[in-house]
Amino acid sequence: MSSPILRLAGLHKSFGALVATDNVTLDLSPGECHALIGPNGAGKTTLIHQISGVLKPDAGRIFFAEQDVTDAAPHERAQLGMARSFQITSIIPGFTVLENVALAAQARSGSSFRFFGRAKAETALNDAAIQALTIVGLEARRDTVAGSLSHGEKRSLELAIALAMAPKALILDEPMAGMGREESARLITTLRELKSRVPILLVEHDMEAVFALADRVSVLVYGRVIASGAPEEIRADPEVRSAYLGEDAA
């Protein structure tokens, strides 16, 4: 098995007395979808913020693409090929759908300290954007102003933005949240096709999605990984059932 693209080693993070990340060690390997589940407030988003560089861990190291990125800024990690989505949709609302994604493609294609020439007319960027929009099924909405999309469409747009970055890994924070059944079914299909090309770290509450996609599942409770393994093992684990799945299984 090839070496992991992302590795967390002994991460700690507390907010005052609250320990949000407690000695978390986990990794993400090429070709896999690693799901991170856990009850509300377990510290999943806090962990993702540390991975992407929005928050600094109090202790521990983060390795991405063979480099120690613990002290790197978010934009430096993104340049290394780390693409993330946000639990609360994060797009450029005043831009068109196409321009949102073209901006992501622009980040991957040469310098953006170019002061002349119309960015909107750069065919290479627009083509890359349309390709990503086609994958998530949003190409028909390319000229819509992003702020006026439906909630589900905005979630899809965020995935297209991440894809247009031609990432080495996708870090997704509850991509299905607030989506209708049909939309999330479609997203599951998309992600299943994607994961062989781009490894995915997936935070998700939708258990149907988790068990449909994940090759490995880690369970986070009170900031600590209480179990990690194949989906069937996790489903069968009594500790997990009582701590988390219990409410589902009952």
Partner 1 sequence: MKDALEQATSGGGKVSRDWGAIAPAVLVFALLALGPLAAEAYGGAYLTSLLMRMMLLAIAAISLDLLIGQGGMVSFGHAAFIGLGAYVAGIMITEGAADLAMILPMAIVASTVFAVVTGAISLRTSGVYFIMITLAFGQMLFFTASSLSAYGGDDGLTLWERSTVFGFDLLSSNVTLYYLILVTLIGAYALVGALVGSRFGRVLRAAKENPTRVEALGFSVFSYRLTAYVIAGVMAGVAGVLMANQAEFVSPSTLAWQRSGELIIMVVLGGMGLRNGALLGAVALVALEETLSSITHDWRLIFGPLLVLTVLYAKTGLAGVADAWVARLWRRA
Ligand X SMILES: Nc1ncnc2c1ncn2[C@@H]1O[C@H](COP(=O)(O)OP(=O)(O)OP(=O)(O)O)[C@@H](O)[C@H]1O
Is 243 among the residues that bind ligand X (CB under 6 A)? Answer: no
- Cα distance between residue 26 and residue 230, in whole Å: 14
Give the end-to-end CA distance of the chain in Å, rounded to a whole number. 37
Is residue 41 part of the contact set for ligand X (CB under 6 A)? yes
Query: Does residue 20 touch ligand X according to CB under 6 A?
Result: yes
Q: Which stretch binds ligand X (CB under 6 A): 26-34, 36-44, 122-130, 187-195?
A: 36-44
Query: Do 101 and 132 meet the contact criterion of CB atoms below 8 Å apart?
Result: yes
DSSP 3-state of 61:
strand
Which of partner 1, Mg ion, ligand X, none does 43 bind, CB closer than 5 to 8 A by kind? ligand X
CA angle 76, 82, 85 (to 5 degrees): 115
Footprint on this chain of partner 1 (rule: CB under 8 A): 52, 54, 73-76, 78-79, 83-84, 86, 90-95, 99, 103-104, 106-108, 111-123, 161, 165
In the sheet that 18-28 helps form, which strands lie side by side, from edge to edge? 18-28, 6-15, 59-64, 67-68
Residue 40 binds which entry of ligand X, Mg ion, partner 1, none, with Cβ cut-offs from 5 to 8 Å by kind?
ligand X
Q: Number of residues in contact with ligand X, rule: CB under 6 A?
A: 12
Q: Which is nearer to ligand X, 20 or 198 (by Cβ)?
A: 20
